[in-house]
Amino acid sequence: MPVIAFVLVRTVPGTSHELIASRKIRGVKMAHSVFGRYDAVLVLTAKDLKELSKTIYEVVERHPNVVHTETLIAMPYSLSEVKQPVEKQYRIVSFHCPSCHNLVEHGSTICPFCGYVFQ
């Protein structure tokens, strides 16, 4: 199964656009300049961790404008492993009065706090 990684990159100020041109690097599927703590985000794919680390260390980190990288490796799983949550049914035992917003017992016809008549 291929490895997918998100590489967060800090560059020399004003040079992230040069790194974005690295979409031409083998394994880089997407590359975007971003605002925030990092200047760019690269999405890489590789056949295994060895190939991924080689691309990151020998190509991305050696780029002259790269100051720092942080790599997030995606944990793939098959859809059969995903457990669907069972919907829990709830019984309404109280509700808020639309007039005074106090909590009223379900089945009441009149709010005991303000006298509002429920229809």
Query: Are residues 109 and 58 part of one domain?
Result: no
Query: Are residues 66 and 30 part of one domain?
Result: yes
Q: pTM above 0.75?
A: no
pLDDT digits (tens, 9 = 90+) for 65-101: 899 999 999 987 666 666 777 777 777 788 888 899 8
Q: Is residue 82 part of a domain?
A: no
Q: Are 25 and 9 in contact (CB under 8 A)?
A: no
Beta-bridge mates of residue 42: 7, 31
Query: Are residues 46 and 10 part of one domain?
Result: yes
Cα–Cα separations (whole angstroms), residue 92 to 86, 95, 103, 104, 116? 19, 7, 12, 11, 20
Query: Are residues 91 and 67 part of one domain?
Result: no
The more confidently predicted of residues 88 and 112 is 112
Q: What is the pLDDT of residue 81?
A: 64
pLDDT digits (tens, 9 = 90+) for 16-50: 888 887 667 778 888 899 999 999 999 999 998 89
Q: What is the pLDDT of residue 101?
A: 87
For tokens 């709010």, name the residue.
111
Domain enclosing residue 41, as ranges:
3-76
Query: Are residues 94 and 50 part of one domain?
Result: no
